[in-house]
Amino acid sequence: QTVQAAKAEAEKMKMIGSAEATSISAVGKAEAERMRQKAAIYKQYGDAAIMSIVLEALPKIAAEVAAPLAKTEEIVLIGGSDNTTAEISRLVGQIPPAVNALTGVDLSKVLGKIPGAQHTTTVK
58 near 99, Cβ under 8 Å? yes
Residue 118 lies in a domain: no
Residue 102 lies in a domain: yes
Residue 120 lies in a domain: no
Residue 85 lies in a domain: yes
21 near 77, Cβ under 8 Å? no
pLDDT at residue number 94:
75
77 near 84, Cβ under 8 Å? yes
Distance CA 47, CA 32 (A): 23
Residue 84 lies in a domain: yes
The domain of 26 spans: 1-112
**How many domains in the chain?**
1
Average pLDDT, the chain: 77
Residue 119 lies in a domain: no
9-68 pLDDT tens trace: 999 999 999 999 999 999 999 999 998 988 887 777 777 777 777 778 888 877 877 777
Residue 117 lies in a domain: no
Indicate if the pLDDT at residue 8 is higher than 80: yes
96 near 106, Cβ under 8 Å? yes
75-86 pLDDT tens trace: 666 666 566 667
